[in-house]
Structure 1
Amino acid sequence: MKAVQLTAFGTEHLVISDIPMPSLKANEVLVNIKAVSLNYLDWIVLNGTFNKKLVFPYIPASDGAGVVAAVGADVTRWKPGDRVVMQYVQNWTKGKVDPDSNAVRVGWQTPGVLSEYTAVPEHGLVKVPVNLSFEEAATLPIAAVTAWHGLIEQAGLRPGQTVLTQGTGGVSLFALQIAKAAGAKVIATTSSEEKAVRLKALGADAVVNYRLHREWHEQVRALNGGEGVDITMDVAGAATIGQSLLSVKENGFVGTAGFIAGPELLLDIHQHRINLNFIRIQGLAVGSAESFAALNRAIEVNDIHPVIDSVFAMEQAREAYLRLESGQHTGKIVITLP
């Protein structure tokens, strides 16, 4: 089969190789991958800032969707022809995460999915929503599940509440779509008027340009009657966490769902009103397969379609990663396979 492999750190070391098909164990499913989507995680793995001990050659990317090609002797859940999507934290099937269920992530402890075929334990797959293409389904495992798990299962989002989303990356756009489907008001931040127009078209009730309003939390609070929002998903980390905390009301929820501007969170308990306003800060890193299945039901019922920025062929994997690096994308970047 053909696979994209990383032979050393850097986009120039992405190559297409012919490698053996994976062998299939009794409890595994052979998936013919049709589409892969990229996350910020994939970029920091590629450039060596995330895991300097990566073993080469390495098949990158964690998010993928495809068709069941074959099943092992003990598999009962899937059959050839089923449309499936990867569960990112493979052993986290339901409930709260623990050391055992948190131990295996696609592309960390297993090969990535940027190959024509991959072998996955039967519990490591979820059914593709009936209303989505493979390209759309491939965008779900990390970004969409993180948004769903954070908003619905951790923050307990209710109709009539207000959610602040930040930027136009995958988690933020899924958070916008999920919040609107749940009956919430959404205020979004962005860096340009062009992106503001796109966010409003996706359902945002109001948009704040953080380049024009450096103290953007003040604008956010003003747009919600001066009291702040109920929930926000902070995706940048060091550069935004302070203003995220100042954007929420009493008993507000701040989910830390990324660190694209740096991982260090320097917080002032008094200045950021953490104790006085009973603010909850929650770390987020996707969710269980049970959570994923619940998200997919909501996607079908509400006919939600992921926002895709661009689609590249397998032979254009380098260009796809460079698009990710540029930070100019709105929504998800997808790579299709034959």
Structure 2
Amino acid sequence: MKAAVLKSFGSALAIEDIPEPVLGTGEIIVDVAASRVLPYSNEVFSGKRQYLLDLPVVPGPGAIGRVHAVGPDATHLTPGDWVYCDPTVRSRDNVLAPDITLQGLSAGGDGGLRLQKYFRDGAWAERMRLPTENAIALGPIAPDEAASWCAMGTCLVPYGGWVAANLRPGETALVSGATGNFGSAAVAVALAMGAPWVVAPGRNEAMLADLVHRFGDRVRPVKLTGNEVDDRQRMLAAAPGPIDCVMDIMPPSVTTATARAAAMTVRRNGRVVLMGGVGMLGGAGLDLPYPWIMRNCITIHGVWMYPREAIPRMIGLVRAGLLDLAGFDVTAFPLARANEAVAHAAANGGPFRMTVLKPS
């Protein structure tokens, strides 16, 4: 079968024939219809992001596809069913603290690397193998809808953060990083979950205006100045009332002062979710004041990805019309043009823009 293969960091993807995946117990093989190309894929493939990724590898975190074959432990899925292929693969021998690897993207530590040795290849191939529990039924969709359903992968990441922080209907949220790919999705998901207002700070005024155009005055934009104290006051002033929950989903290039300015807008007894890449490339720590955390009873959640049960819930939000995946502007590339797709994603990674590969 055809696949895109990353053989060394800094090299172009090779489009070549590789062996078909072999089905084992506890596994499913899926015919890949569409897979996201993350806006920062070029930074992963160049080695700039320093992700734990054992090469050579077929990249591609997550996909929409149809079941090709199932193992003996699958009792509901059958060949032909449409599924979301969850890239978050967890080890099965430690319920409380499983090791995690993101199939086709990165491992979470040494245990994740060992897991990656087996579940290594991602979705940028005509077929992929994944654990049975990572293929989640979508229900019937039209084949030309597969690319739009790939936006599930973008929306699920911030949804995992909101779930961890128990964001409730009627609560005001703030998204630090609202003008980015995942941050803009965090705004949409918070509104779908019943937040009456979402404070959206950012530097790009055009992207802030686009959020307001999409969602109306439930989005409260804030133009950041770079001054930590001033920016915090501007965010507080934009909120109609107390800010119940803050999510930071900034990229690694952002300073910790920017993240701290947003985090410290949260009300007494509020929650802060850290999901971004701040500090991953070195630099100062977040340095949140101990007395502020303690005396204001602040809860801080570090969240990587999402629990598995979040996936069918998000499918429900989409099916109910609360979250509109059709709002994403999709540009699709065939597998043979995978390198062009990576370049396109890097240059077009703004809010509600999505680049996908269609291997089939």
Q: Structure 1 length normalisation: TM-score?
A: 0.86
Are the counterparts in 2 of residues 192 and 209 from structure 1 also a CA contact under 8 Å? yes
What secondary structure is seen at the aligned counterpart in 1 of 2:235?
helix
| TM-superposed deviation, 1:303 | 4.4
Q: Judging changes above 3 Å, is the alpha-carbon distance between structure 1 residues 82 and 162 closer, same or farther for their aligned structure 2 residues?
A: same
- 1:231 paired residue number: 245
- Aligned mates of 2:178, 2:83 — CA distance in 1: 29
Are the counterparts in 2 of residues 159 and 183 from structure 1 also a CA contact under 8 Å? yes
* Structure 1 letter corresponding to 2:135: L
Deviations 1:198-250 (A, max 9, x none): 1013324211122588743221100125x651112111265232112222111
Alignment of 1:166-245 (within 5 A): 166-184=177-195, 185-203=197-215, 204-211=218-225, 215-225=230-240, 228-236=242-250, 239=255, 240-245=258-263
Query: RMSD of aligned C-alpha atoms?
Result: 2.9
- Aligned mates of 1:288, 1:218 — CA distance in 2: 34
Percent identical pairs in the alignment equals 24
What secondary structure is seen at the aligned counterpart in 2 of 1:273?
helix
Query: Is 2:334 aligned against 1:320?
Result: no
* Structure 1 letter corresponding to 2:200: A
- 1:298 paired residue number: 317
* Structure 1 letter corresponding to 2:203: S
* Structure 1 letter corresponding to 2:235: V
- Aligned mates of 2:238, 2:156 — CA distance in 1: 28
How many residues get paired?
A: 331
1:259 to 266, 277, 299: 277
Q: Judging changes above 3 Å, is the alpha-carbon distance between structure 1 residues 330 and 211 closer, same or farther for their aligned structure 2 residues?
A: farther
Q: Which runs of 5+ in 1 are unaligned?
A: none
* Structure 2 letter corresponding to 1:290: E
Q: Which runs of 5+ in 2 are unaligned?
A: 107-115
- Aligned mates of 1:158, 1:7 — CA distance in 2: 45
Alignment of 1:84-99 (within 5 A): 84-91=83-90, 98-99=96-97
- 2:135 paired residue number: 125
Q: Judging changes above 3 Å, is the alpha-carbon distance between structure 1 residues 251 and 217 closer, same or farther for their aligned structure 2 residues?
A: same
- 1:77 paired residue number: 76
- 1:47 paired residue number: 46
- 2:113 paired residue number: none
| TM-superposed deviation, 1:43 | 4.1
Moved over 6 A (4+): none
Q: Structure 2 length normalisation: TM-score?
A: 0.81
Query: Is 2:358 aligned against 1:336?
Result: yes
Are the counterparts in 1 of residues 243 and 270 from structure 2 also a CA contact under 8 Å? yes
Deviations 1:2-49 (A, max 9, x none): 101112212x42121111211112432210111111336644431214
| TM-superposed deviation, 1:194 | 2.0
Are the counterparts in 2 of residues 34 and 64 from structure 1 also a CA contact under 8 Å? yes
What secondary structure is seen at the aligned counterpart in 2 of 1:316?
helix
* Structure 2 letter corresponding to 1:45: V
Query: Is 2:171 aligned against 1:161?
Result: yes
| TM-superposed deviation, 1:272 | 8.8
What secondary structure is seen at the aligned counterpart in 2 of 1:158?
coil
* Structure 1 letter corresponding to 2:150: A
